[in-house]
A and B are shown apart, each in its own frame.
Chain A
Amino acid sequence: MTDRIWDQFLTDRDKEVFAASGFGAMADWGERPALLIIDVNYAFCDEESMPILESIKKWRTSCGEVAWEAMPVLQRLIDTCRGKGIPVIYTTGIRRPDNWDSGSWTWKNKRRQEERKPVLTSDGRDGNEIVDAIAPGPRDIVVHKQKPSGFAGTPLHSYLQLLGCDSVIVTGTTTSGCVRATVLDAFSLNFRVTVVEDGCFDRAQASHAINLCDMHAKYANVMPSDAVIDHLNTLSQGMFDLPSGAGMTATAAE
């Protein structure tokens, strides 16, 4: 892994500093991971692959085409984890219909007021619904959140504790926002963290690359999905006491 996605954004001085200061070493994987899929919903992906400047006319948070480039990667990771009985945990947003609980989110975006009327998909679904291409299965777990980190004000940590997880494999969007916030909190709780480079996306290319660079330097192993899947395939079958899925429909695993 000599050429990294962030190399093009670094100055020669930056490269020298990283090399000299010892950051970016490879950490252990941990032994009992959960797959985290952060906010891969319609508001961040649109309903199909669209040029981002087109897509954000309707969905102001959309990441456009890059979301759909990551989708097959996420599908492969999800299939691998389900096959092994490794926990698959999704996050997505939740909001009161009147948006009162947007709170601090209203402070930094000029288009927030558009959400006084809900933005819905062509078939009338909420933007926070996870996209069908990677829909949660009956034994997966969905965590609803209101802030960037999957841990902030949610039961995520208690679920990881209950499952006996010692590590998380993080995917989804945006790399610079909710992915990074979740990675930071997992790190602060002493979970081993892997970030799947091609399983994450952001609306800004530079933000995506530099945030991966930062996380790889300090908090996580940033790895391509092929290497992550190879590793997952070395783990034992059925290590976790997963939800039974009884009484769940395939798309309502909540």
Chain B
Amino acid sequence: MTPDRFEDHAWKDIVPDDLLKIYEPYRRETVVGPNPALLLIDLYNLAYQGGPKPPQELQDSYPSSCGIHAHRAIDPTKRLIAAARAAGIPIIYCFGDTAPQGAPRRVGATHRKGVKRDPKDFEIYHEFTPEPGDILIPKQRASIFAGTPLVSHLNILGVNSVIVCGESTSGCVRASCVDAYSTGLHVSLVEDCTYDRHEMIHKMNLFDLHHKYADVMAVEEVVAHLSDLAASRAAAQCA
């Protein structure tokens, strides 16, 4: 997207003009980088439990659910994954590692209390079931990079940039975007396919990531880019 529409995103209604002025030097064109891979952060059952309700209503029964925010992202995320498959780019999922005896006590993605480690909760949600050629990475902390073989996989795949989506914006998505940036990868974050438990937290974290580390982009724009990749791939195969 062109620089004049740089602030045309979810945070528009909560970020005051004086703050935007401070962040003016970050204004730039936003793009998908070369040789991308799709990183799907924590699209597991836990985030969808209790159905499309406000998370505060689910708090008692399903404290990890993002409720309505998770369910609203289902359709755009399916479109994004389908476009990535058509373009033939690597598709990489991560989920909470529940291997028995895999970690000492108090190791987790956040300091949140009372999170149970039931493998069923960390299975990828049925709407996004991975295919055999996809890559699944178990992780113990917030970032998909922390203590995992991800970078060696990206190297052997010849990946130079990542397209990120999933949950939560303030937690594992943010940590993964910052680590991707620090690793020297261009980062595109798909706004419609990323969510958190609360809109305010979601918007402010998107704002931070967009200005400093990632190009926050609308799903239409990313899907259009992937469709172009798919078309040029098909043309190359015909030639």
Residue interface mask A140-163, B partner, CB < 8 A = 1: 000000000000000001111110
Closest 5 CB pairs of A and B: A161-B184, A158-B184, A162-B184, A190-B156, A190-B155
Chain A residue at minimal CB-CB distance from B153? A190
Partner of B184 from A157, A166, A189 at Cβ < 8 Å: A157
Contacts of A159 in B (CB 8 A): 184
Contacts of B153 in A (CB 8 A): 190
Q: Mark A residues whose CB is within 8 Å of B.
A: 157-162, 164, 166, 188-191
Contacts of B152 in A (CB 8 A): 188-190
Contacts of B119 in A (CB 8 A): none
Contacts of A158 in B (CB 8 A): 182-184
Q: How far is the CA of A189 from the CA of B184 in the complex (A)?
A: 14
Contacts of A160 in B (CB 8 A): 184
Chain A residue at minimal CB-CB distance from B159? A161
Contacts beyond the supplied A158-B184, A161-B151, A161-B160: 6 A-B pairs with Cβ under 8 Å: A157-B183, A157-B184, A158-B182, A161-B185, A164-B34, A191-B155
Contacts of B34 in A (CB 8 A): 164
Contacts of B88 in A (CB 8 A): none
B3: interface (CB < 8 Å): no
Contacts of B158 in A (CB 8 A): 166
A33 to chain B, nearest CB (A): 13
A159 to chain B, nearest CB (A): 7
Supply 20 A–B pairs (Cβ within 8 Å), ascending by A. A157-B183, A158-B182, A158-B183, A158-B184, A160-B184, A161-B151, A161-B154, A161-B155, A161-B160, A161-B184, A161-B185, A162-B184, A164-B160, A188-B152, A189-B152, A189-B155, A190-B152, A190-B153, A190-B155, A190-B156
B220 to chain A, nearest CB (A): 28
A54 to chain B, nearest CB (A): 43
Contacts of A190 in B (CB 8 A): 152-153, 155-156
Q: Mark B residues whose CB is within 8 Å of A.
A: 34, 151-156, 158, 160, 182-185
Q: How far is the CA of A160 from the CA of B155 in the complex (A)?
A: 10
Contacts of A157 in B (CB 8 A): 151, 183-184
Count of chain A to chain B residue pairs whose CB atoms are closer than 8 Å in the complex: 29
Q: How far is the CA of A166 from the CA of B35 in the complex (A)?
A: 13
Q: How far is the CA of A161 from the CA of B34 in the complex (A)?
A: 12
Answer whether A189 and B160 are a contact pair too, CB < 8 Å, given A158-B182, A161-B184, A161-B185: no
Contacts of B156 in A (CB 8 A): 190
Chain B residue at minimal CB-CB distance from A166? B158
Q: How far is the CA of A164 from the CA of B151 in the complex (A)?
A: 13
Chain B residue at minimal CB-CB distance from A159? B184
Q: How far is the CA of A31 from the CA of B29 in the complex (A)?
A: 30
Contacts of A161 in B (CB 8 A): 151, 154-155, 160, 183-185
Q: Which of A162, A166, A190 has the most CB of B within 10 A?
A: A190
B33 to chain A, nearest CB (A): 11
Answer whether A166 and B160 are a contact pair too, CB < 8 Å, given A157-B184, A158-B184: no
Contacts of A166 in B (CB 8 A): 155, 158
Contacts of B184 in A (CB 8 A): 157-162
Chain A residue at minimal CB-CB distance from B181? A158
Q: How far is the CA of A190 from the CA of B182 in the complex (A)?
A: 18
Chain A residue at minimal CB-CB distance from B156? A190
B31 to chain A, nearest CB (A): 16
Chain B residue at minimal CB-CB distance from A164? B160
Q: How far is the CA of A188 from the CA of B156 in the complex (A)?
A: 11
Q: How far is the CA of A160 from the CA of B158 in the complex (A)?
A: 12
Contacts of B182 in A (CB 8 A): 158
Chain B residue at minimal CB-CB distance from A188? B152
A88 to chain B, nearest CB (A): 18
Q: How far is the CA of A159 from the CA of B183 in the complex (A)?
A: 8
Q: How far is the CA of A102 from the CA of B151 in the complex (A)?
A: 28
Contacts of A164 in B (CB 8 A): 34, 160
Contacts of B154 in A (CB 8 A): 161
Q: How far is the CA of A189 from the CA of B182 in the complex (A)?
A: 16
Chain B residue at minimal CB-CB distance from A165? B155
Q: How far is the CA of A160 from the CA of B152 in the complex (A)?
A: 12
Q: How far is the CA of A188 from the CA of B160 in the complex (A)?
A: 18
Q: How far is the CA of A159 from the CA of B151 in the complex (A)?
A: 13
Q: How far is the CA of A211 from the CA of B151 in the complex (A)?
A: 26
